[in-house]
Amino acid sequence: MTTMASTRRTRLEPPTSAPRRPLGAPRALPPGRPVQLRSVPLPQGAAGHPAPASVAPVRPAWADQISRREAEVLRLVARGLSNAEIGAELFISLPTVKSHVARLLDKLDARDRVQLVVTAYETGFVLPERLRRARPVA
Is residue 105 situated within a structural domain?
yes
- Total domains in the chain come to 1
Is residue 112 situated within a structural domain?
yes
Q: 50-63, pLDDT tens digit by residue?
A: 555 545 567 788 88
Half-sphere exposure of 19 (CA within 13 A, CB side): 7
Q: For residue 109, what pLDDT is reported?
A: 92
**pLDDT averaged over every residue in the chain:** 77
Angle at 82 between CA 78 and CA 88, to 5 degrees: 105
- Cα 85 vs. chain centroid, distance in angstroms? 16
Is residue 72 situated within a structural domain?
yes
pTM score of the predicted model:
0.56
Query: What residues make up the domain containing 117?
Result: 66-134
Residue 115's CATH number: 1.10.10.10
Is residue 10 situated within a structural domain?
no
